[in-house]
Structure 1
Amino acid sequence: MVHLPEKLLNGYRNFMAGRYASETSRYRTLADDGQTPETLMIACCDSRSAPETIFDAGPGELFVVRNVANLVPPYAPDGEYHATSSALEFAVQGLKVKNIVVMGHGRCGGIKSVLGPTHEPLSPGDFIGKWMSLLGPAAEAVSGNTMMTAGERQTALERISIRFSLANLRTFPCVDILEKKGRLNLYGAWFDISTGELWAMNPVTGDFERPRLD
């Protein structure tokens, strides 16, 4: 009896014969000693923009949180369920990460949905619609700009969403305090799926620039 899709099992076989075989001691050390990643990566759950692949990260190097459109909600200790906030809390307070990177990407479906909804909600709960309403005011401002093409509006909001999430990160007391003490660094990045280009946000101007790799 097969309990997983065959494609996944084949991938696992390749993993065991390849990466795990070459990094067995590292995996065992991580199992015995626990994880100590220095960077929390908040990224989109889009299957085309996996942070571990983009940054060629090995096991234990990145603590990754992925959700629709790489959003960080504002600090809200209201007793409700908060997946992204709980992961953030653990990364900052438990793992003591030194860096937080919010990484968006081109052709984001979540961003596209909030810019110009063309379909009915996928379910009565409309969880995606509720989640993306976090960007409502920004989406309204961008979508009203008729001087931009649809593609330009999409890219603009993808990058605005990164600045939005960084601002929301600073509403969390643990993040705000540690950043002001110089013990935590916040970064923004945007990845173009089509070209493989990575753009980093200038912390002073907010502009996105291509980092020099030489």
Structure 2
Amino acid sequence: MNEIDKLLAGFRRFRERYYSREPGLYQQLVNSGQSPTSLVIACCDSRVHPVQVLDTDPGEIFVVRNVANVVPPHEQDGKPHGTSAAIEFAVQILGVRQIIVLGHGQCGGIRSLMEGKHQDHRYGFIDPWMDIVAPARDRVLKERPEASFEDQCRACEQANIDIALHNLMAFPWIKKKVEGKQLSIHGWYFDIGQGELFVTG
């Protein structure tokens, strides 16, 4: 069985195990639309899917995934910004009440940043994207110069969550809702190897 056939077989299992057993739920989601209470900003790493990690049902969480669970700075330049547009949709249109930045261990994006692979800007999209997180790397290298590479990567993964939370508060409509107690923001870190979840911010 090739990879495409495996995916199609997976859909058939989904139909049998979930969809056919919960037809009312899916019909309700069709009729009523979505009303998730939480936005989860996560990495697109294939090993960390928020729906599985948090064991949620369809319609419970609105998920945004990108390389290294980055929240870009607030920019009103008239250009398209995918992650920012998704955040705006979740907060302003869907009215989520929580934003969770879900970082994780063994993040390939952070590891490559720590290895200095993005400094030559060979990649047109990844390199400028990871530049957003460069202050996390710089902070770790300054504060923990003697730490092992693995410890530095872990520290950078967690510092990246701090940057994401800081950048979220630069969006004026997020700041207003947080200050008005209509919205809360949280940083979580999932340790893949240990299966543990840590609240970091």
Instruction: Using structure 2 for the length normalisation, give the TM-score.
Output: 0.93
Report the CA distance shift for 1:184/1:198 in structure 2 as closer, same or farther (over 3 A).
same
- 1:36 equivalent in structure 2: 35
- 2:137 equivalent in structure 1: 139
Superposition deviation, residue 117 in structure 1: 2.4
Q: Is 1:19 aligned with 2:44? A: no
The amino acid that maps onto 2:22 is E
Superposition deviation, residue 126 in structure 1: 2.7
Q: Supply the RMSD in Å over aligned alpha carbons.
A: 1.7
CA distance in 2, matches of 1:54, 1:138: 25
- 1:185 equivalent in structure 2: 184
Extract unaligned runs of 5+ from structure 1: 204-214
Report the CA distance shift for 1:120/1:185 in structure 2 as closer, same or farther (over 3 A).
closer
- The worse-fitting range, judged by mean Cα deviation, of 109-118 and 51-60 is 109-118
Extract unaligned runs of 5+ from structure 2: none
The amino acid that maps onto 1:81 is P
CA distance in 1, matches of 2:91, 2:119: 38
CA distance in 1, matches of 2:78, 2:117: 34
The equivalences for 1:108-119 within 5 A come to 108-118=107-117
Write the deviation string for residues 9-66 of structure 1: whole angstroms up to 9, x where unpaired: 1100100000111211001100111000000000000010100001111000010000
Q: Secondary structure at the match of 1:31?
A: helix
- 2:85 equivalent in structure 1: 86
Paired-residue identity, %: 42
- 2:48 equivalent in structure 1: 49
Query: Matched residue pairs, number?
Result: 198
Report the CA distance shift for 1:172/1:118 in structure 2 as closer, same or farther (over 3 A).
closer
Q: Secondary structure at the match of 1:147?
A: coil
Question: Contact 1:39 / 1:99 at 8 angstroms: preserved in 2?
Answer: yes
